[in-house]
Structure 1
């Protein structure tokens, strides 16, 4: 575990109108919380997209023909190349808004959760089986609690 603040460069871009979407600074805060104590330096990009772009990306990269809430694309650097490039996140704003409403969660809290979730994927965390899923969910709970956000897995 590393100590101290993370040297962080987060680029946030928008493929849709920004109304109802948290400010770029919020995404940077959530990324920093997810990385705190785990790595010292990171560069990543976050793109917020509409449903059409989200669906196209999910279909192309995962073979799933629907828009999903968050996609994570870890950096694939050549062997021996040491850069702080962590990867990219794609967050589908309409899916996030719909899920937040369905789950009776504040949209901002759901954006925070999905950002943390995506960053953990960039760090190599996964949820392919029950043991991995529980470990990842517990870490998400801890990170979000540190941000004053309720447990995203709590039943409403």
Structure 2
């Protein structure tokens, strides 16, 4: 189980302000200490991961939650770039999107996404998904060191 003194670093790449707000709320309710950073497009996600510009001092995330339909650079393009970089590829990437399209699911796994989750419509279901993500990725799975 994750120790409380070590906060889990999560990067949320999401352009929908309502979804960002709900996910922030869900992670605040968490029993696992976490720090959720949010960027709103694919280019900012890569700046964050490469510590460029305003993100020069940010910690490396333990997990990336990535939407597919992003401005500037799609979630699939971001995923491809992450998994093509030896310095980033070990970071687990969960596609968290409204898409249910088979093509998006197949492409995500072809690009080595660690999982694909369609965002639930109802708030209580979203909170449950976040709880299950946390339980699996931060209590069961052994993550690589930062």
TM-score normalized with structure 1 length:
0.37
Instruction: Please identify the structure whose Cα radius of gyration is greater.
Output: 1
